[in-house]
Chains A and B, each alone.
Chain A
Amino acid sequence: MSDEPARGASRRNFLKGGAALGAGALATGAVRAEGADPLITEVQDWASSFGDAVDASPYGMPIRFESHVVRRNVEWLTESPVSSINFTPIHALEGTITPQGCAFERHHSGAIELSKADYRLMINGLVDTPLVFTFEDLMRFPRTTVTAFLECAANGGMEWGGAQLEGCQFTQGMIHNMEYVGVPLRYLLEEAGVQAEGKWIYAEGADASSNGRSIPMEKALDDVVVAFFANGEALRKEHGYPVRLVVPGWEGNMWVKWVRRIGVYDQAVESREETSKYTDLMPDGRARKWTWVMDAKSVITSPSPQAPVRHGKGPLVLTGLAWSGHGRITKVDVSLDGGRNWQEARITGEAKPKALTRFHLDIDWDGSELLLQSRATDETGYVQPTKDALREIRGLNNVYHNNGIQTWWLKSDGEVENVEVA
């Protein structure tokens, strides 16, 4: 049965430390045993004595029972932890907003400490007046707000050759979704006065990597935001404090953190990050460049390898995320048989454009093996393809933009594996 391993584990814990645990420990067994639940019939400590005082934690962390819900990395992926990546625990989160503290990080030269007082933003190049702004200057421009997902272009990149990592944290977790507040980049560019030949901007960061990216002027004037708040508070250090670029729908590498200069040019700069990296090698040996938009994608976040089903057959909630860099998610379908038959899932909450969208499907699981898949459709009519359909066009060395359908193998004991099917 599905909860067999779990039971074993709780028994082991009971034997190890049971004596010291008292009523709380006995309770777990009691739930499954006959008779009254001592958690209900006996007065518990927390129902009788004080909890923490108001200032126990002036800025709170999650309760200790959630200590497993953290960013995690895969050490063998990169040579150095300061130019590396970790992954959002999407298997453990619900809704759509990603808390900053567990939202994945990608640094090219480490997360730097830059104060508001030391912060400067320069706009130069093909402008009437090259300008320098302080943080205080930025705070005086009219503000806008946008909720947007940030997905690393390489999210799922390890899966091009086949199922590789066990868990959506590792296979789809280079993503987060936050509500930003900042200044439309357009206002700053207009302040400097973009000249007619200015067709591109080049945004670079204040960190040692600089991580510069070219962005066409049309996008820069459209929805790019110079942001300083995320999810209601200041950006965290690892997300670019005090100021980062928000480039809705486009690959995460372009969301330059600690942004310190916006250059206006008549051509793309063709920096290291847009030539040597973040270009997509095709089977004919040529490579696509400027593949900025993140295509529609989805994943069932639970059940998944890190979120096995422990409660056995019967009611089971399938929950997942869908998103598209082209706009709104209009539909998410779920298959229980590896893609032969599909049913429409519920979109729970608002489907905002270029933002994570939550879907649910409630099923009555008979305990048989399932091959779970989800498939997103966006407002342009694009339907998330299978990984094999992408491979047919792009081969195995594309590295980036793997938005293929994920398959989870839910076994009758409730364990889940990352697999591919054919």
Chain B
Amino acid sequence: MSKSLNLLVGTAMAALIAAPAMAEKMGLGRPALPEEIAAWDVSVLPDGTGLPKGEGDVLTGEEVFADKCASCHGEFAEGLDSWPVLAGGEGTLQHRRPVKTIGSYWPYLSTVFDYVHRSMPFGAAQTVSTDEAYAITAFLLYSNGLVEDDYVLSNENFTENTLPNADGFYPDDRAESEYPLFSGEGCMSDCGPEVKVTKRAVDLNVTPEDPDGRPAGTLPDIMAAATAAAPASEAQETSTDAPAETTETAAAEVDSELAEAGQKVFKKCAACHKVGEGAKNGTGPHLNATIGRAAGSVEGFKYSKAMADAAAEGLVWDEASLMSFLENPKGFLKGTKMSFAGLKKEEDRAAIVAYLSTLEP
């Protein structure tokens, strides 16, 4: 392209920017290929637009659900801990504590299929096949009492299903129902009788706290800063040093690079297993000081019968047993609650073991 042509293009551009809408296309980007669109556009709409061809039955769905979903949502979609409850809750939407499930709240079945298919299971999205997604959706209809146990859901009969709360939603009406009430000149004086404190957050005592008992993040006293800063930074240094030191003493041979890699791999586990100071049991037991500990021995965690039995038989978590368990949890211990598929790469498993061995009680 010649310089003058460039200039012309530049001038045209300037005109485009000034214009309210771009009259001419820029010619940027390239056409999306059909297989690219198919790979990324997996949206399913309430009228069935986007449903892929396939089918799945309730009983298959129950199996897939038990395998891929139940560790968070419960065998019966009842929701474990604070994970979402997917079934039940009918008639509770006006209660003090409503239970919002697929059966009680969700308006469209398409949303269930779409979400399961594209975003579940948590931490392993897009590993549910089309037929499995139909099967899980069928199972969720069943667990909400909406179909019988012999029901087969497919792209053909999908839109015949209407969820109970389909008519429970209406578009934003604040412009009519609220804004007229909250408009005009705000009252400036003598706007009401004297008020008294009726509720105090401190009574609930649920705010995260700093070590001194104040709300977390409370600003330090500026005038004390000169004295406080130095000890605080000292404390900071010791607090960052401390774990490193204990790591060295507790597991002198642990390859710190491997442990660091393990910390990254551990992200796959972190949704269910907490670690570190004050770690509590979640969907899985906390994993502090796991190495060398008897299986099934974390206080307060409800283990599967399989794990309890293995513990009774003397299973101890050492490098060898953890490596096997992590490779194939259900193969190593049939009946374990841990619905994790396993770590196929040996280096990932070794890294996790190295990382776990750095975690103190």
Asked, given contacts A9-B228, A13-B231, A166-B207, whether A131 binds B191 with beta carbons under 8 Å apart, the answer is no
Whether B36 and A307, one on each chain, are in contact in the complex, defined by CB atoms closer than 8 angstroms, is no
* Binding stretch for chain B, among A235-243, A345-353, A356-364, A378-386: A378-386
What CA separation (Å) do A81 and B272 show in the bound complex? 10
Measured between beta carbons, the chain A residues less than 8 angstroms from B218 are: 68, 167, 305-308
Measured between beta carbons, the chain B residues less than 8 angstroms from A6 are: 221, 223-224
Which B-chain residue is minimally distant from A27 (CB atoms)?
A: B226
Which B-chain residue is minimally distant from A127 (CB atoms)?
A: B32
Whether A82 and B221, one on each chain, are in contact in the complex, defined by CB atoms closer than 8 angstroms, is no
Asked, given contacts A83-B122, A419-B200, whether A130 binds B31 with beta carbons under 8 Å apart, the answer is yes
- A339 interface residue per 8 A CB criterion: yes
* Binding stretch for chain B, among A48-56, A185-193, A224-232, A313-321: A185-193
Q: In terms of DSSP, what is the predominant structure of the interface of chain B?
A: loop
Whether B172 and A133, one on each chain, are in contact in the complex, defined by CB atoms closer than 8 angstroms, is no
Whether B227 and A21, one on each chain, are in contact in the complex, defined by CB atoms closer than 8 angstroms, is yes
Whether B41 and A418, one on each chain, are in contact in the complex, defined by CB atoms closer than 8 angstroms, is no
What CA separation (Å) do A165 and B174 show in the bound complex? 27
Whether B173 and A10, one on each chain, are in contact in the complex, defined by CB atoms closer than 8 angstroms, is no
In the complex, how many angstroms separate the beta carbon of B281 from the nearest chain A beta carbon? 12
Measured between beta carbons, the chain B residues less than 8 angstroms from A263 are: 41, 43
Which A-chain residue is minimally distant from B116 (CB atoms)?
A: A272
What CA separation (Å) do A190 and B271 show in the bound complex? 41
Asked, given contacts A208-B119, A396-B96, whether A72 binds B224 with beta carbons under 8 Å apart, the answer is no
Asked, given contacts A131-B31, A290-B171, whether A21 binds B282 with beta carbons under 8 Å apart, the answer is no
Q: How many residues of B contact A (CB 8 A)?
A: 111
What CA separation (Å) do A275 and B219 show in the bound complex? 40
In the complex, how many angstroms separate the beta carbon of B318 from the nearest chain A beta carbon? 28
Which B-chain residue is minimally distant from A302 (CB atoms)?
A: B219
Which A-chain residue is minimally distant from B107 (CB atoms)?
A: A275
Whether A137 and B119, one on each chain, are in contact in the complex, defined by CB atoms closer than 8 angstroms, is no
What CA separation (Å) do A373 and B212 show in the bound complex? 27
Whether A310 and B37, one on each chain, are in contact in the complex, defined by CB atoms closer than 8 angstroms, is no
- B292 interface residue per 8 A CB criterion: no
* Binding stretch for chain A, among B177-185, B302-310, B333-341: B177-185
Whether A285 and B168, one on each chain, are in contact in the complex, defined by CB atoms closer than 8 angstroms, is yes
- A174 interface residue per 8 A CB criterion: no
Whether A272 and B217, one on each chain, are in contact in the complex, defined by CB atoms closer than 8 angstroms, is no
Asked, given contacts A166-B202, A342-B189, whether A80 binds B270 with beta carbons under 8 Å apart, the answer is yes
In the complex, how many angstroms separate the beta carbon of A224 from the nearest chain B beta carbon? 15
Q: How many residues of A contact B (CB 8 A)?
A: 133
Measured between beta carbons, the chain A residues less than 8 angstroms from B126 are: 208
Whether B201 and A166, one on each chain, are in contact in the complex, defined by CB atoms closer than 8 angstroms, is yes
Whether A165 and B168, one on each chain, are in contact in the complex, defined by CB atoms closer than 8 angstroms, is no
Which B-chain residue is minimally distant from A171 (CB atoms)?
A: B201
What CA separation (Å) do A336 and B173 show in the bound complex? 33
Whether B201 and A285, one on each chain, are in contact in the complex, defined by CB atoms closer than 8 angstroms, is no
Whether B100 and A286, one on each chain, are in contact in the complex, defined by CB atoms closer than 8 angstroms, is no
Whether A295 and B174, one on each chain, are in contact in the complex, defined by CB atoms closer than 8 angstroms, is yes
Whether B231 and A419, one on each chain, are in contact in the complex, defined by CB atoms closer than 8 angstroms, is no
Whether A78 and B82, one on each chain, are in contact in the complex, defined by CB atoms closer than 8 angstroms, is yes
Whether A285 and B94, one on each chain, are in contact in the complex, defined by CB atoms closer than 8 angstroms, is yes
- B187 interface residue per 8 A CB criterion: yes
Which B-chain residue is minimally distant from A142 (CB atoms)?
A: B17
Residue in contact with B43 in the complex, picked from A20, A32, A269, CB distance below 8 Å: A269
- B3 interface residue per 8 A CB criterion: no
What CA separation (Å) do A339 and B21 show in the bound complex? 47
Whether B207 and A165, one on each chain, are in contact in the complex, defined by CB atoms closer than 8 angstroms, is yes
Whether B208 and A418, one on each chain, are in contact in the complex, defined by CB atoms closer than 8 angstroms, is no
B136-193 interface (Cβ within 8 A of A): 168-174, 177-179, 181-193
- A169 interface residue per 8 A CB criterion: yes
In the complex, how many angstroms separate the beta carbon of A273 from the nearest chain B beta carbon? 9
Asked, given contacts A13-B228, A166-B202, whether A122 binds B223 with beta carbons under 8 Å apart, the answer is no
Measured between beta carbons, the chain B residues less than 8 angstroms from A134 are: 29
What CA separation (Å) do A43 and B189 show in the bound complex? 54
B-contact bits for A83-123, CB 8 A (1 contact / 0 none):
10000010110000000000000000110000000000011
In the complex, how many angstroms separate the beta carbon of B33 from the nearest chain A beta carbon? 8
5 shortest interchain CB distances as A-B pairs? A10-B224, A6-B221, A208-B125, A285-B93, A418-B201
Besides the known contacts A167-B217, A267-B47, 17 further A-B residue pairs in the complex with CB atoms under 8 A apart = A25-B226, A64-B236, A80-B270, A80-B271, A82-B123, A124-B40, A166-B201, A167-B207, A209-B119, A210-B119, A265-B43, A285-B168, A288-B169, A290-B171, A306-B217, A337-B194, A396-B96
Chain A residues with a Cβ under 8 A of chain B: 3, 6-7, 9-10, 13-14, 16-18, 20-21, 24-25, 27-28, 31-32, 64-65, 67-70, 72-76, 78-83, 89, 91-92, 109-110, 122-125, 129-134, 137, 140-142, 162-167, 169-170, 186-187, 190-193, 202, 204, 208-210, 212, 260-261, 263, 265, 267, 269-272, 275-276, 279, 281, 283-293, 295, 305-308, 310, 331, 333, 337-343, 371, 375, 377, 380-385, 389, 393, 396-397, 409, 417-422
Give 17 pairs: A residue, B residue, CB < 8 Å, sorted on A. A10-B221, A67-B236, A80-B270, A82-B123, A132-B32, A142-B16, A208-B126, A275-B108, A284-B94, A291-B172, A310-B222, A339-B195, A375-B186, A382-B183, A393-B181, A409-B197, A422-B195
